[in-house]
């Protein structure tokens, strides 16, 4: 029984990791080697450097512009999401006010709604406010991160000792003082967890930036990848035509672009790993 379970786990592990191995090996090969050689054969470091240079300098350094835009949108949206989610979760968990249950219900409903269902009303709202095509049309929608609000609500309602907060109020602390000097320092693990999930959601979002931007200089990396697919010879046969002015890319170039796109998330995860583990386990056990 144990052997069967281990075999199933190994099968699922291979199913998810084999494509990743191919992805990281693809930029080391030429387009011809990618087709003819073994999928897990290593090309050469010189080919890797050439592929990296070709994709970074593509179309006037467009990839670097998209990378910068993604960083601005993602870090801006993450900052607003954390600033909004932590006080909201604290208020829903530890304070009593009229409409509290209604707000919590609305938060849960929005959390389970498909993100694409909200794109049209967000577009109409941003267009009405004159923010369409600006960085605020992509930062402000991520300021409300319902999953982060729910995580903060669960954390504050299950982990923060209510007697500690009551003692601070008896000592004369205001509600803001209790939140600022007691709740927030104790909530550092959940702040990191909410920040990470908000960053990943913002960084990987495609449909909202696709609707809210209209110029190549405004695209984030996820929208720019679609443009790269259209410029990749194996995905767009029209690029084979003679005399075309399009800079023709190949499959190794697209693989390198995907690696560059996931690298920031991987780096953030590696630096925040301890905080993430602490945040996910907080409240799981009682002393």
Mean pLDDT of the chain: 82
Instruction: Please state the three-class secondary structure of 205-256 as a single string.
Output: CCHHHHHHCCCHHHCCHHHHHHHHHHCECCCCHHHHCCCCCCCCECHHHHHH
pLDDT grade for 225, boundaries at 50, 70 and 90 = confident
Task: Write down the pLDDT at residue 245.
Answer: 44
pLDDT grade for 80, boundaries at 50, 70 and 90 = very high
Q: Where are the alpha helices (DSSP H) in the chain?
A: 2-25, 31-36, 45-56, 62-94, 100-112, 119-128, 136-139, 146-158, 162-170, 175-178, 184-186, 188-204, 207-212, 221-230, 251-281
pLDDT grade for 278, boundaries at 50, 70 and 90 = low
Task: Write down the pLDDT at residue 231.
Answer: 65
**How far apart are the C-alpha atoms of 9 and 208, rounded to whole Å?**
35
Task: Write down the pLDDT at residue 145.
Answer: 86
Identify the weakest region by mean pLDDT among 51-60, 80-89, 187-196.
51-60
Ramachandran region, residue 235 (left: φ > 0; alpha: ψ -120 to 50; beta: rest): alpha
DSSP 8-state secondary structure symbol assigned to residue 44? -
**How far apart are the C-alpha atoms of 258 and 262, rounded to whole Å?**
6
How many Å is the Cα radius of gyration of the chain?
A: 24
pLDDT in tens, 238-271: 554 444 444 556 778 888 888 888 888 888 888 7
Contact 124, 137 (CB under 8 A): no
Domains recognised in the chain with CATH numbers: 61-281 (1.10.3720.10)
The torsion angle over the Cα atoms of residues 198, 137, 116 and 224, rounded to 10 degrees, is: -80
Task: Write down the pLDDT at residue 73.
Answer: 93
Please give the average per-residue pLDDT across 7-26, as a whole number: 85
Q: What are phi and psi of 232, to 5 degrees?
A: -90, 125
Q: Which residues contact 61 (CB under 8 A, 6 or more apart)?
A: none
pLDDT in tens, 29-72: 887 887 787 878 888 888 888 888 888 888 778 888 999 999 99
pLDDT grade for 83, boundaries at 50, 70 and 90 = very high
Q: Report the 10 Å Cβ neighbour count for 84.
A: 19
pLDDT grade for 171, boundaries at 50, 70 and 90 = confident
Task: Write down the pLDDT at residue 71.
Answer: 93
Task: Write down the pLDDT at residue 238.
Answer: 54
Task: Write down the pLDDT at residue 243.
Answer: 45
pLDDT in tens, 91-106: 888 888 888 888 888 8
Q: Which residues contact 178 (CB under 8 A, 6 or more apart)?
A: 165, 168, 169
Residue 183, pLDDT > 90, answer no
202-to-76, 82, 108, 172, 242 alpha-carbon distances in Å: 9, 13, 19, 40, 40
């Amino acid at each position: 029984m144990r052997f069967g379970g281990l075999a199933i786990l190994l099968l699922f592990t291979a199913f998810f990791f084999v494509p990743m191995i191919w992805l990281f090996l693809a930029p080391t090969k030429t387009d011809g080697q990618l087709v003819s050689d073994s999928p897990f054969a290593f090309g050469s470091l010189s080919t890797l450097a050439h592929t990296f240079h070709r994709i970074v300098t593509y179309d006037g350094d467009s990839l670097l512009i998209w990378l910068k835009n993604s960083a601005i949108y993602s870090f801006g949206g993450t900052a607003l999401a954390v600033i909004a989610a932590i006080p909201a979760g604290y208020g829903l968990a530890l304070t009593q006010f009229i409409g509290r249950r209604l707000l919590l219900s609305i938060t849960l409903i929005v959390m389970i709604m498909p993100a694409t269902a909200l794109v049209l009303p967000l577009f109409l709202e941003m267009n009405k406010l004159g923010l369409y095509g600006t960085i605020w049309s992509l930062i402000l929608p991520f300021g409300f991160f319902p999953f982060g609000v729910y995580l903060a609500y669960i954390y504050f309602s299950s982990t923060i000792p209510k007697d500690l907060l009551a003692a601070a109020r008896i000592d004369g602390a205001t509600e803001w003082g209790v939140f600022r000097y007691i709740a927030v320092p104790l909530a550092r693990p959940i702040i990191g967890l909410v920040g990470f999930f908000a960053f990943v959601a913002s960084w990987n979002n495609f449909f909202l930036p696709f609707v809210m931007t209209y110029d190549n200089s405004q695209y984030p990396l996820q929208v720019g990848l679609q443009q790269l697919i259209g410029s990749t010879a194996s995905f767009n046969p029209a690029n084979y035509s003679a005399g075309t002015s399009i800079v023709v890319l190949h499959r190794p170039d697209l693989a390198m672009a995907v690696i560059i796109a996931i690298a920031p998330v991987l780096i953030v995860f590696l630096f925040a790993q301890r905080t993430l583990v602490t945040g996910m386990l907080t409240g799981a056990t009682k002393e």
